[in-house]
Amino acid sequence: MLFFFRIASVVTKKGVLCMADITLKGEECHTSGILPQVGSKAPNFALTDKDLSNKHLSDFQGKVKFIYAVPSLDTETCLLSTKKFNERAKDFPDVVFITVSADLPFAHKRVCSAEGIQNVITLSMMKNRDFSRDYGTFITDGPLEGLSARAVIILDADNKVIYTELVPEISDEPDYEKAYACLKHG
């Protein structure tokens, strides 16, 4: 299955700003940028864990990182995908599975406890939205403005981007098999 999304360019006083066009139930909306390019070094991040501690990309140094950015774990598709990743994480013991959303850490704790999510680390953009801006998933307009678009970003042990997928329709699930194939053949 191929996924297509359109990249738009906007000329600003600071130069050209690229953004991706995505949809929510067929209605067009946009992200603040594009996903990091495969082969590039991933931007650092500071996110909040369920215990309110700060987590940075460097906390996972030396491990492959499977990052799943979502609008909210309190939505059907985000929760379903996170549960699927939680189940498949058992097949990849050397990979850190991370789901990032704008939900409060308290919601992450509640959802993970209720749904038995133990193999995925859930991190919150509670304190700022830099992660979604730096990774090109920040939604700039539409009903989900300020949240993250749905995306999968896989980083190798040295934080080099080895796989990306921006899901073009926010309510759709990502391409699980392509992402798992990347983990298997990296």
Tell me the residue type at 137: T
CA 182-58-80 angle, to 5 degrees, is: 50
Active site includes 78? Answer: yes
Catalytic residue chosen out of the listed positions 29, 78, 112, 182: 78
DSSP string, 97-152: EEEEESS-HHHHHHHHHHHT--SEEEEE-SS-SHHHHHTT-BB-SSTTTTSBPPEE
CA 180-184-186 angle, to 5 degrees, is: 100
* CA-only gyration radius of the chain, Å: 15
Q: Where are the alpha helices (DSSP H) in the chain?
A: 76-88, 105-115, 130-134, 176-185
Q: Which two tokens stand for residue 104?
A: 């409060």
Give the residue numbers marked as catalytic.
78
